[in-house]
């Protein structure tokens, strides 16, 4: 390889670029967990918010938890947005949530057929 195509230590540019790409694709990024849903008919908003608040302590104790925002639209749609340090931690918390007693009232108020969950790598934040 010509000297002008070498990095210090003798590594070529293509190796360095391939190595950087590999690290980028295997690196954990912070994650947004976005859950869109509606509640079961007859669920009072005030009761549902109290149920959500009761499970906050459990969420805050989960490894990788950063923050949670729960929004409600006039159409009845809810968005639960939770930020995690990594995808692995988000998935572990999602698995544990189903067995968490403090989450049962919140989860049982949700119309299961309406749930759409998405996990997104956070690539920019301001």
pLDDT of 5 reads 44
Residue 102 carries which DSSP code? Answer: G
Instruction: For residue 24, tell me if it sits in a domain.
Output: no
Instruction: For residue 18, tell me if it sits in a domain.
Output: no
Structural domain that includes position 94 = 29-121
99-123 burial, b at 16+ Cβ within 10 Å, e below that, comes to eeeebeebeebbeeeeeeeeeeeee
pLDDT in tens, the chain (126 residues): 444 444 444 444 444 444 444 444 445 789 999 999 999 999 999 999 999 999 999 999 999 999 999 999 999 999 999 999 999 999 999 999 989 999 999 999 999 999 999 999 999 988
Distance CA 24, CA 5 (A): 23
Number of domains in the chain: 1
The pTM for the full model equals 0.76
- The DSSP code sequence of 48-64 is HHHHHHHTHHHHHTSTT
pLDDT of 27 reads 57
Distance CA 108, CA 126 (A): 35
What CATH number should be reported for the domain holding residue 111? 3.30.70.100
Distance CA 46, CA 79 (A): 16
pLDDT of 74 reads 95
The residues, ordered by sequence, that sit 6+ positions from 66 with a Cβ below 8 Å of its Cβ are 30, 82, 83, 84, 85
The token duo for 75 is 């159409």
pLDDT of 19 reads 43
């Amino acid at each position: 390889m010509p000297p002008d195509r070498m990095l210090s230590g003798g590594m070529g540019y293509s190796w360095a670029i391939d190595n950087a790409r590999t690290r980028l694709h295997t690196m954990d990024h912070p994650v947004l967990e976005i859950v869109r849903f509606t509640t079961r008919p007859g669920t009072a908003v005030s009761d549902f918010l109290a149920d959500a608040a009761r499970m906050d302590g459990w969420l805050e104790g989960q490894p990788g938890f950063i923050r949670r925002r729960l929004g409600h639209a006039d159409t009845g749609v809810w968005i639960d947005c939770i930020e995690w340090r990594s995808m692995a931690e988000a998935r572990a918390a999602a698995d544990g949530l189903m067995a968490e007693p403090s989450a049962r009232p919140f989860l049982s108020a949700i119309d299961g057929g309406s749930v759409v969950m998405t996990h997104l790598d956070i690539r920019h934040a301001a």
